[in-house]
Amino acid sequence: MKPLGLLFLAWSMLAATVAVADDAKSVIASLDERLTRVGPPHVEGTDTAGAGKSVPALYFGPRKINGNYDIVDDIKKASGATATVFVRDGEEFVRVSTNVLTPEGKRGIGTSLARAKAYEAVSKGEPFCGDVDVLGTPYSACYHPLKDAKGKVIGATYVGFKK
């Protein structure tokens, strides 16, 4: 291959990587906007997630998000991205709405956010974008903290593209 061809190939690969990172940022902005359009996030009572695990019930306005998949599934249809809404349960962030599948092919409801860079950021109320491992699969992803009216971190949103 000629040097110009190699340069073009390298530039194309870099542009594709940047596009995926930018896509995650724009898609998570879309997810967050759709959720907050329903109303402000808050926790109220408890609900089950996964195999009978009791966690706080996360709401946007009057709409309970636990076990509600229409918004995350719409994100997948529109962009091809995986999407999740986590609720904070003590020191854990637990998936309560997701289109991310476990190795067994079931929604990853009730599973927790891994304690890595994304966890550290959202725990502090900061967003995170970068490469992550989601239930054993590498993704280019973004996470945003969810805060209640008092500014307390009560959950997180996630959008990712498989690498």
Residue type, 76: K
Other Cβ atoms less than 10 A from the Cβ of 21: the count is 15
Residue with token string 């994100």: 75
Q: pLDDT for 48-79, tens place per residue?
A: 888 778 999 999 999 999 999 999 999 999 99
Domain that holds residue 28: 3-162
Please say whether the beta carbons of 142 and 129 come within 8 A: yes
Stronger pLDDT, 31 or 3, i.e. the higher one: 31
Q: pLDDT for 7-18, tens place per residue?
A: 333 333 333 333
Query: What is the reported pTM?
Result: 0.85
Q: pLDDT for 147-163, tens place per residue?
A: 999 999 999 999 999 98
* Distance, CA of 130 to CA of 135 (rounded, Å): 16
Identify the band that residue 91 occupies on the pLDDT scale cut at 50, 70 and 90.
very high
Domain CATH number, residue 9: 3.30.450.20
Number of domains into which the chain is organized: 1
Please say whether the beta carbons of 56 and 89 come within 8 A: yes
At 142 the pLDDT is: 97
DSSP 115: S
* Distance, CA of 141 to CA of 161 (rounded, Å): 6
* Distance, CA of 97 to CA of 116 (rounded, Å): 21
Q: pLDDT for 128-145, tens place per residue?
A: 999 998 878 899 999 999
Q: pLDDT for 93-131, tens place per residue?
A: 999 999 998 888 999 999 999 999 999 999 999 999 999
Other Cβ atoms less than 10 A from the Cβ of 74: the count is 15
At 22 the pLDDT is: 56
Stronger pLDDT, 156 or 21, i.e. the higher one: 156
